[in-house]
Amino acid sequence: MADYFSTWFPVGWDWLGWLLAALIQAVLLLHVIAVGAVVFIWLERKIAGRIQDRLGPTRTGGKFGWLQTLADGLKLLSKEDLMPRDADPLLFKLAPYISLTASFAAYLALPFANDWVGVRMNIALFFVIAVLGLEVFGVILAGYGSGSKWSLFGGMRQAAQVVSYEVPLGICVVVPVMIAGTMDLVTIGEQQAGLFSNWLFFHDPFCMILFWVYFTCGIASVNRAPFDLAEAESELVAGFLTEYSGIRWSLFFMAEYGSMFLVSGLAAILFFGGWNGPIPIFFWVPEDNFTLETLANLVGLANFILKGVVGVIVMMWVRWTLPRLRIDQVITMCLKYCVPIAAFCFLGSLLWTAAHLPFLNDVLPMQARGDVREGWVQDIDDELQRREKRMAVEAYELNSAVEGGPQQEAQVLLDSEAEDRVALRSAEQTEAAR
């Protein structure tokens, strides 16, 4: 896209094309979070109403209750923005934007289809996990800057929870990296193309268990029930959100819903084939046909969004089914259960892969994972091939010059023809003089 836009501008101003492409990608990703939050709020009300037999979400707000979410959005935009007297003005105002920025920045490396990604990175998985963990800084600053002990307690709870669950979460994402041999999310997704049996979830029994550990840690990392101790209304009023209102209050929830879809989308790429469907209906598309490739990527985009939405629905299902845990139970769940299970599954999957043991992943395979390589590796291979060809040509020319090969013979013929022409011209000049 950037290369295409660069052709619109004169020489020396091609950077405007890159800037225009970056702005378009940023706006598209921002709409994923903003529009996604509106849809997920409506969806959570519907799910909560069905699970708990609450009639409100089913009978108010127009058809299917969709107007209720818009009304709440207008209310938050027009509501007075208050700040406590004892709050730190800078930290209090900055905290929600830090949380939203962390959730938004992680989307830069999340692919939605083959090569449909904001910035393709060789360390994309590491980048997403690292940036997603920065969201907790917004919560800590909100709790500290509010000037309230309830907000401070909620922020410290969230910090302890996120730091604890980062350990098993990191162990869980290492296993797909080990199997795929790369941290490039596009490459990991492409390696799972083919039938659903090629998904990493079916690689071995340990990956099946590891997915549920990852999903549990993902729920805890995005501060969702039953791990929403930072917002415990029963003992902390509303936690770090106690003193917030209006648009700043809504920014925290936009960041939360954005992180929910991000964690679900990452799970889809690492374990469920990403944008690849269970049946490869576009495997026949040639690589040089732009129209068919775009159509295949659009279907892959819809497939990826569907998988992410299913993950978000499961998170909502868990929230309105299970009761909130105590803080000691949350830490116990992490240190006594998630960490040992993740470590055991890591070792089991490592030994399974090293021993090349068969599983569902080997049923009717359509491609070998080693055939799909990272872009920078392919570039290096192409450059090495070009160098080998150039060196072969230079060696051939050198051998021809030394051994009197075809090139030297051709040069000798040219020299002899030149000498004959000079002699003939001299003879003609002599005859003309006579």
Question: What is residue 312's predicted lDDT score, i.e. its pLDDT?
Answer: 94
Q: What are phi and psi of 116, to 5 degrees?
A: -95, 80
Give CA–CA dist 368/363, Å, rounded: 12
User: Each residue of 83-119: b (16+ CB within 10 Å) or e?
Assistant: beeebbeebbebbbebbbbbbbbbbbbbbbbbebbbe
pLDDT at 263: 94
pLDDT band at 308 (very low <50, low <70, confident <90, very high): very high
40: pLDDT confidence band, cut at 50, 70 and 90? very high
DSSP calls for 274-302: TT--SS-TTTT--TT-HHHHHHHHHHHHH
401 has a pLDDT exceeding 70: no
Q: How confident is the model at residue 376 (pLDDT cuts 50, 70, 90)?
A: very low
pLDDT at residue 147, rounded to an integer? 85
- pLDDT winner (highest mean) among 16-20, 142-146, 429-433: 142-146
Q: How many CB atoms lie within 10 A of CB 433?
A: 6
Phi, psi of 73 (to 5 degrees): -65, -45
For residue 135, what pLDDT band results from cuts at 50, 70 and 90?
confident
Q: Of 96-110, 354-368, 393-407, which gets the smallest average pLDDT?
A: 393-407
Q: 43-52, 127-136, 307-316: which has the highest mean pLDDT?
A: 307-316
C-alpha to C-alpha distance for 218 and 211, rounded to whole angstroms: 10
CA distances from 39 to 73, 94, 219, 313, 397 (A): 12, 26, 19, 11, 67
Q: What is the pLDDT of residue 6?
A: 75
Taking each helix axis as running N to C, give the angle between helix 246-271 and helix 135-145, from 0 to 180 degrees, rounded to the nearest 10: 160
332 has a pLDDT exceeding 80: yes
Residue 429: its pLDDT value, please?
A: 58
pLDDT digits (tens, 9 = 90+) for 54-111: 777 667 777 777 888 888 888 888 888 888 888 898 999 999 999 999 989 999 999 9
Average pLDDT of the residues of the chain:
82
Nearest Cα residue to 324 out of 253, 213, 232: 232
Q: What is the pLDDT of residues 113-122, one digit of tens each?
A: 888 888 888 8
| Cα–Cα separations (whole angstroms), residue 246 to 39, 95, 323 | 19, 14, 28
Say what percent of the chain tops pLDDT 70: 81
Q: What is the pTM of this model?
A: 0.81
Residue 113 backbone phi and psi in degrees, to 5: -165, -175
Closest of 298, 107, 265, 103 to residue 188, by C-alpha: 265
Q: Highest mean pLDDT range out of 229-238, 309-318, 324-333?
A: 309-318
The torsion of the CA quartet 243, 248, 250, 256, rounded to 10 degrees, works out to: -90
* Alpha-carbon dihedral 83, 86, 91, 95, rounded to 10 degrees: -50
